[in-house]
Amino acid sequence: MLVAVKIGNSTISIALFDDPLSDRFSSIMTFDIKKESEMENKIKKFFSKIKKESDTVICSVVPDLTEKILKLLKSKKNIVINYKTETGLGLKLKNPQKFGADRLATSVGAYNLFKENIAVVDFGTATTITVVTKKAEIIGGAIMPGINMMRESLTEKTAMLPYVDLNKKISALGNETHSAIRSGITLGTVCAVEGIIDKIEKEESLKLKTVLTGGWSEFLSIYFNKKINLKPYLVFEGMRLIYLKNINS
């Protein structure tokens, strides 16, 4: 049994693989990290239900929380993913030590699915684009605010702009404040991602397969003009594969 723990800037998500050799996880739970005591209780309750001995693979972008979560785990073996972890991908970057473990895990998942030149777009707290080549190399990408961060920033940093519900019909031409914000945040994000991918393709002379993942990926996928591959839980597939590469090391 394998427990995959993803520690993000907004949430902690846990997926349970009954068989680490299978890409199917049996359950997933997500906790809001803003309520730390509640989060700890939920995590303890989650692990108390696991009857079999398990190993754990952790993907974290919040170092302080990593230590706290490790203390809550009751696993035979813990693997914490970082830039030194054996993944099967090369990091052709200026500062590989600063490359996010979440981007690394999703890149592993995407490469093993397609083995082509890929733009992995992760819609989470931040929106990230990571380029993986068919030579199994991560060569760079782009980072921009996520759509919820944009929404909160508009409300917090302005006197009169409201917090809007994004789950409504969105058109490019907003005819009042709420619809204009929905257009700017949602379509602005999609157009930015598609435009950046187009520029990367021209700069690097690559044709990239576009893979969408992350919490907002399904919501945003319907607005893309590009052909896309939707894989919302790609990070867990990458974590599982990284675990299998490192379990005997």
Q: Which residues are catalytic?
A: 102
Strand partners, 209: 118
Where does residue 173 rank: exposed (0-12), middle (13-18), buried (19+ CB within 10 A)? Answer: exposed
d(C-alpha 191, C-alpha 185), whole Å: 10
Closest Cα to residue 70, out of 62, 81, 61, 80?
80
Amino acid at 232: P
Q: Which residue has the tokens 């699915």?
A: 113
